Copies of this chain bind each other. A is one copy, B any other.
């Protein structure tokens, strides 16, 4: 019963097969190969636009390379107080951007609302050159609370940002889960809603290692090839990313995988919600579940083989607290989560 994280699996069968097939033959290195070209094309088709696409090996690299292309080092990046770029990427954003600053809002909330963001815009002093300037709004999709921003929400926030000359970044480590949840098109959830740059993650959803930086605003991509090279993120063998991404996007494989993870999350969420003493921190909309559990229950589940992690208390909803006999935990499903594991976990809960 593995609900620890969606990055603890291997690749999907389809993706692995593609990788094996691409292993044969000689081709140009450093991304000049046919697999890379095909993958770029596949991304453009998926997003229905002529975007610039680059592949890197980690989500941190994708996010921080993207941000470094979008921000001056004397600007701030506004993000959620639990954003991965703030909480889980060491000081990589500062390193890549040459010292830009993260500014967090919406503490204790599941999402950045127009109200949060407008309040910040209204009060943030911009006395040149003493104060850092507003640079980028970064949204996470699916977000820090395991929920999704609708295209309309994204559009409203992006519009506020653009009105102030800011650019809009989307951390899409779990973008596929959001898209599968919302049912709209990839274009509607991104550039049509005002997203300038999307970091699209595949490593958590079917690939071994493949992350994409997708520039809808192509002017921001200027210099990216140099940035990627001088941060050590240009791999010599482009087929590694190219083959994975082509297979991942083919026949909506990425959405099939994500939908499966989301479905399992819903089942788990229902079961948890119906369990006395358990409280979901947030309504589950993608593949992550945040819940307060009686400690005893949590321990019994773990004793029975369930794997999930305690989560930082700073991520609790405003006003909620984790009592002495409670644990605040996160469960994550992935494409590799099995019906059996889910069923067994629900049975354990029902047995209480």
Chain A residues with a Cβ under 8 A of chain B = 2, 4-5, 7-11, 16, 19-20, 22-30, 56-62, 64-65, 72-75, 87-92, 94-96, 98-102, 123, 125, 128-133, 203-204, 208-209, 223, 225-237, 239-240, 312-314, 336
User: Can you list 18 pairs linking A and B with CB atoms under 8 Å apart?
Assistant: A7-B237, A9-B26, A10-B239, A19-B19, A20-B20, A58-B235, A60-B229, A64-B232, A74-B90, A90-B130, A90-B229, A92-B231, A96-B232, A98-B98, A98-B99, A99-B99, A128-B225, A208-B237
For the complex, give the distance between the alpha carbons of A110 and B64 in Å.
Answer: 35
Q: When A23-B208, A99-B94 are in contact, do A123 and B314 touch as well, CB less than 8 Å?
A: yes
Q: Which residues of B contact A226 (CB under 8 A)?
A: 72, 74, 90, 128-129, 133
A259 shortest CB reach to chain B, Å: 20
Cβ-closest 6 pairs across A and B:
A61-B232, A94-B99, A10-B23, A74-B226, A7-B236, A129-B229
Query: SS class of chain A's interface: helix, strand, loop or mixed?
Result: loop
**Which of B88, B231, B234, B313 is within 8 Å of A95, CB to CB?**
B231
Q: How far is the CB of A277 from chain B (nearest CB, A)?
A: 24
What are the residues of chain B within 8 A of A2 when measuring CB–CB? Answer: 26
Asked if B87 contacts A129 (CB within 8 A), the reply is no
CA distance A231 to B63 in the complex (A): 11
Name A204's closest neighbour in chain B (CB-CB): B236
Residues of B within 8 A of A235 (CB): 57-58, 203, 209
Most buried by B among A9, A91, A125, A233: A91
Query: Are A91's CB and B95's CB within 8 A?
Result: no
